[in-house]
């Protein structure tokens, strides 16, 4: 019995070493009763021959915009109309840039502009190219244009480097295309996040606080929800509104934050301490407003308990991630905290330099763990949060398998 074709997929292969994996993708897609037609850019043909895809798809491969024989058979407009879905795998940095700017100077870019069906892209490139701000900006534009982005994954790269940029495995791309449901990185996991500043009262009207906006913690909460986690956010006073699915616990002081976090940390899979917790608090809160009399006065401050260190030393303990804002010697201080506080990971950023940070919408991070590190260039905190959540999910996976 011949089974019914349930989807017509136009697979575009662009130039990159991952092009060989797309041959497997064609095979997997056809097993799911889809009809697959393949378009290849010139660069893609340097890596794999059209013959390979012709044999696997059972159709001639389209390569040229102005190929008379192909125009006769099925021109680019017809090909775009034919498809239920356009999938670009691997999607190079070049094609991402072209799509995001509407350039149409070859078959694939013209097809993209002519297509009205859902579009999926599976980026694959060197990690530095992936992390480049312009690539991230292009991707953001594509996302805003409704394009679905699959991956990429982190790991060893063909160029010998490590980091984000590996094309998602064909089996996972196939699953996402067929079920239309992306696999969530933190499905079934619970994440506890502390965010914002704390407020240490001196008297009924005055307090000591800091410039933390809470943006990073709230962005991480959103990103964790998007990856399928349940999220509890213990937040100091900020003017942000969390995602509707976040369970919010409001606190003011470092002592309150300590209590609320420690009560919950044992029941969570992950703890991320983004809060700028006051290091010291006044020992005594005056019941009445402090009057001004003397020319000089002083306040005695007492050291607060370290919430992050306490979570990391508790049993059972979640996968524990700290933050470190440093003005100098970033790696040495961050690694020192990683060891001393027994953390699984620490995300460090410069403060006091012109590079984002506390009140800014952007930030740059250098993330360290025992045997590795990863740099995230200056970018929007929401984007950064997605990357950090993905890195946490990856490190948790690695930890549980070692
Ligand atoms: O030691 P330092 O304050 O620089 O470490 C920063 C990290 O420790 C942040 O993740 C912050 O949330 C956490 N921290 C804490 N409790 C404190 C002070 C800092 O959890 N009392």
- Using one digit for the tens of pLDDT, what is the confidence trace for 209-237? 999 999 999 999 999 998 989 999 999 99
> Residue 355's pLDDT band (boundaries 50, 70, 90)?
low
Which atom of ligand 1 is closest in space to residue 310's alpha carbon?
A: 20
- pLDDT value at residue 238: 97
Out of 253, 275, 341, mutate this one to test ligand 1's pocket (max ligand atoms within 8 Å of CB): namely 275
Catalytic residue numbers read 159
Lining ligand 1 with CB less than 6 A are 194, 254, 273, 275, 277, 279, 304, 306-308, 322-324, 337
Q: Which fold has domain 190-283+295-400?
A: Rossmann fold (3.40.50)
Number of neighbouring beta carbons within 10 Å of residue 304: 18
- pLDDT value at residue 183: 61
pLDDT in tens, 134-154: 999 999 899 888 899 998 887
- Please give the share of the chain, as a percent, with pLDDT higher than 90: 74
Task: Calculate the CA dihedral of residues 214, 220, 221, 223 and round it to 10 degrees.
Answer: 140
Q: Which fold has domain 8-178?
A: Rossmann fold (3.40.50)
DSSP conformational letter for 341: T
> Do the domains 190-283+295-400 and 8-178 match in fold?
yes
Out of 273, 276, 350, mutate this one to test ligand 1's pocket (max ligand atoms within 8 Å of CB): namely 273
The more confidently predicted of residues 24 and 6 is 24
Nearest residue (CA) to ligand 1, atom 6: 324
How far the first Cα of the chain sits from its last, in Å, is 47
Which atom of ligand 1 is closest in space to residue 254's alpha carbon?
A: 21
Q: How many CA atoms lie within 13 A of 42 on its CB side?
A: 5
Distance CA 11, CA 90 (A): 10
Residue 270 C-alpha to ligand 1 middle, in angstroms?
16
Parallel, antiparallel, or unpaired for β 362-369 and 372-380?
antiparallel
Annotated domain spans of the chain:
8-178, 190-283+295-400
Residue 268 C-alpha to ligand 1 middle, in angstroms?
19
Residue 393 C-alpha to ligand 1 middle, in angstroms?
22
> Residue 242's pLDDT band (boundaries 50, 70, 90)?
very high
Nearest residue (CA) to ligand 1, atom 2: 324
Nearest residue (CA) to ligand 1, atom 1: 337
The more confidently predicted of residues 159 and 104 is 104
Q: In the predicted model, what is the mean pLDDT of the chain?
A: 91
Which atom of ligand 1 is closest in space to residue 194's alpha carbon?
A: 12
């Amino acid at each position: 019995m011949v089974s019914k074709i349930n989807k017509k997929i136009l697979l575009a292969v662009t130039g990159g070493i991952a092009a060989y994996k797309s041959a497997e993708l064609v095979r997997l897609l056809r097993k799911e009763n889809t009809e697959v037609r393949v378009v290849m850019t010139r660069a893609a043909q340097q890596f794999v021959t059209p013959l390979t895809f012709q044999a696997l798809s059972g159709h001639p491969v389209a390569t040229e915009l102005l190929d008379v024989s192909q125009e006769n058979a099925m021109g680019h407009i017809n090909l775009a109309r034919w498809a239920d879905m356009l999938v670009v795998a691997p999607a190079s940095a070049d094609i991402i840039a072209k799509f995001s700017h509407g350039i149409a100077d070859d078959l694939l870019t013209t097809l993209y502009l002519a297509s009205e069906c859902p579009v999926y892209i599976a980026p694959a490139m060197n990690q530095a190219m992936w992390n480049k701000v312009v690539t991230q900006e292009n991707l953001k534009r594509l996302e805003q244009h409704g394009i679905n982005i699959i991956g990429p994954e982190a790991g060893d790269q063909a160029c010998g480097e490590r980091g984000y940029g590996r094309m998602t495995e064909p089996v996972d791309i196939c699953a996402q295309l067929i079920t239309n449901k992306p696999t969530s990185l933190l499905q079934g996991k619970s994440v506890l996040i502390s965010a914002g500043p704390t407020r240490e009262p001196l008297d009924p009207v005055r307090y000591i606080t800091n410039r933390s906006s809470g943006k990073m913690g709230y962005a991480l909460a959103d990103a964790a929800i998007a990856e399928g986690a349940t999220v509890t956010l213990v937040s100091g006073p900020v003017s942000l509104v969390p995602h509707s699915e976040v369970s919010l616990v409001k606190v003011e002081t470092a002592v309150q934050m300590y209590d609320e976090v420690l009560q919950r940390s044992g029941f969570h899979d992950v703890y991320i301490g983004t809060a700028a917790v006051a290091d010291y608090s006044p020992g005594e809160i005056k019941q009445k407003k402090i009057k001004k009399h003397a020319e000089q006065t002083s306040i005695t401050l007492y050291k607060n308990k370290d919430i992050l260190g306490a979570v990391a030393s508790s049993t059972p303990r979640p996968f524990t991630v700290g933050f470190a804002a440093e003005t100098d010697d970033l790696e040495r201080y961050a690694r020192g905290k990683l060891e001393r506080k027994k953390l699984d990971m620490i995300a460090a950023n410069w403060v006091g330099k012109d590079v984002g940070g506390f009140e800014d919408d952007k930030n740059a991070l250098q993330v360290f763990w025992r045997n590795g590190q990863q740099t995230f260039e200056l970018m929007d905190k929401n984007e950064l949060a997605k990357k950090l959540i993905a890195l946490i999910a990856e490190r948790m996976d690695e930890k549980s398998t070692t």
